[in-house]
């Protein structure tokens, strides 16, 4: 699972603790931060600066970006061709979702991956 917009632990917030939860639940997290150029590792994994450098490509891309900042990632997401793109709670972009869906990528918008995972475990 590649996490675009992940934050380092010292910054915290949902863009850190949701991927940390998912990692503890057994998912491999590939950090793709947008900021923090000096950070080389998050959650014990080496930082990637683009989806294009993730090998093998991630099956799922989890987005922690403002809705208005989703569109610039669409080209890289299409090139990576994940099976699923998940936009975290509060994040949605209908045009990006439509473009990704037309390429055969499943899209989830405005849902927290941690909450959905917890609910599925009940």
Residue 66: pLDDT over 90: yes
Q: Which residues contact 28 (CB under 8 A, 6 or more apart)?
A: 1, 45
Tally Cβ neighbours within 10 Å of residue 80: 20
Instruction: Specify the pLDDT at position 20.
Output: 98
Q: What is the pTM of this model?
A: 0.96
């Amino acid at each position: 699972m590649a996490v675009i917009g992940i934050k380092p632990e010292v910054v915290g917030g949902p863009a850190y603790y949701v991927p940390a939860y998912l990692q503890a639940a057994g998912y491999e997290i590939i950090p793709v931060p947008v900021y923090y150029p000096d950070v080389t590792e998050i959650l014990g994994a080496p930082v990637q600066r683009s989806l294009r450098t993730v090998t093998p490509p991630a099956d799922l891309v989890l987005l922690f970006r403002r809705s208005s900042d989703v569109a610039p990632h669409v080209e890289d997401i299409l090139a990576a061709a994940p099976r699923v793109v998940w936009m975290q709670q509060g994040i949605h972009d209908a045009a990006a979702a439509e473009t990704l869906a037309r390429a055969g990528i499943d899209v989830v918008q405005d849902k927290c991956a941690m909450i959905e995972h917890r609910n599925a475990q009940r």
